[in-house]
């Protein structure tokens, strides 16, 4: 094994040189490099991704160059604005197939005559809600009334509101089981996205059935419960009055009525 001398220390020839780990080589500014940076920023690349490439300066150096070179600084700020607008446009384009984005646009809102309520239609809607579908997804179905109509029915019709609430309770149980299945099938590659799904399902389940799946428990007993283990226990307050009267101290209850001397008093 051959040895070489580095900084006064003998070490193997193929050993990396001594120094601070992770220190990047300095990059000097040039108009060509400045134009390349602005071009890629305007195309939608982030500063973080650009700075990680070999031969590129750090993000802090971007700002230093922009402050020191007025021409680069103006082009740098303009490129950031153009790139930000481009990324927003690409994000909106990617969201177009999504249901929630479609329903927020005017094209996604269905018009026409008002759908009359029937018990059969209400039962079909509640079955889909109990199966885990959202009212927004049901309202997007051309064969179903829009989501606003469904909410109006739940507010105005007592029978439909009762079915609607029962369906929401059943949907909470389904979402609870679904979150467990996602957690059991998670892998190292999908753990980040699965965590977001589980947290969303957990929050949604707690909102649908707060008494069953909520994190906070009510301290008061439920209405109609008796004085059992979880209910309030009755008690009597005795007030002892020391008076210079025949018979010694007198005892009264909280209403001021005299009571017999309690045992042990």
Domains of the chain: 25-95 (1.10.10.60), 119-213 (1.10.10.60)
Token pair in block for residue 73: 């600084």
DSSP for residue 44 = T
Q: What percent of the chain has pLDDT over 90?
A: 27
Per the CB < 8 A criterion, the answer to whether 12 and 23 are in contact is: no
Other beta carbons within 10 Å of 241: 10
Look at 111 and 30; give whichever has higher pLDDT.
30
Give me the mean pLDDT over the 200-223 stretch: 75
pLDDT at site 6: 47
Instruction: Give the model confidence (pLDDT) of 55-65 as tens digits.
Output: 899 888 998 99
pLDDT of 7 strictly over 50: no
Residues in the chain: 265
Look at 53 and 215; give whichever has higher pLDDT.
53
Token pair in block for residue 47: 């500063």
Give me the mean pLDDT over the 241-265 stretch: 59
Cα torsion 14, 20, 23, 28: sign: negative
Instruction: Give the model confidence (pLDDT) of 174-184 as tens digits.
Output: 999 999 898 88
Average pLDDT, the chain: 77
pLDDT of 215 strictly over 70: yes
By CB atoms closer than 10 A (0-12, 13-18, 19+), residue 181 is exposed
pTM of the model: 0.45
Closest CA to 47 of 87, 95, 12, 17: 87
């Amino acid at each position: 094994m051959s040895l070489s001398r580095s900084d006064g220390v003998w070490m193997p020839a193929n050993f990396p040189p001594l120094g601070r780990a992770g220190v990047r080589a300095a990059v000097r500014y040039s108009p060509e490099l400045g134009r390349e940076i602005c071009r890629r920023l305007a195309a939608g690349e982030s500063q973080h991704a650009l700075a990680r490439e070999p031969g590129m300066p750090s993000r802090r150096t971007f700002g230093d160059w922009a402050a020191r070179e007025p021409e680069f600084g103006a082009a740098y700020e303009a490129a950031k604005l153009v790139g930000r607008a481009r990324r927003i446009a690409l994000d909106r384009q990617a969201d177009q197939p999504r249901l929630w984005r479609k329903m927020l646009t005017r094209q996604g809102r269905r018009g026409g005559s008002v759908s009359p309520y029937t018990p059969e239609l209400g039962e079909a809607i509640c079955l889909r809600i109990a199966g885990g579908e959202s009212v927004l997804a049901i309202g997007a179905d051309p064969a179903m009334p829009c989501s606003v109509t469904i909410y109006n029915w739940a507010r105005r019709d007592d029978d439909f509101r009762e079915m609607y609430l029962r369906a929401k309770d059943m949907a909470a149980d389904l979402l609870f089981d679904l979150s467990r299945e996602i957690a059991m099938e998670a892998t190292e590659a999908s753990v980040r996205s699965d965590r977001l799904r589980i947290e969303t399902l957990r929050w949604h389940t707690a909102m649908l059935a707060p008494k069953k799946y909520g994190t906070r428990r009510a301290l008061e007993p439920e209405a109609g419960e008796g004085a059992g283990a979880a209910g309030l226990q009755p008690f009597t307050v005795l007030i002892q009055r020391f008076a210079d009267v025949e018979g010694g101290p007198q005892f009264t209850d909280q209403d001021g009525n005299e009571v017999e001397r309690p045992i042990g008093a």
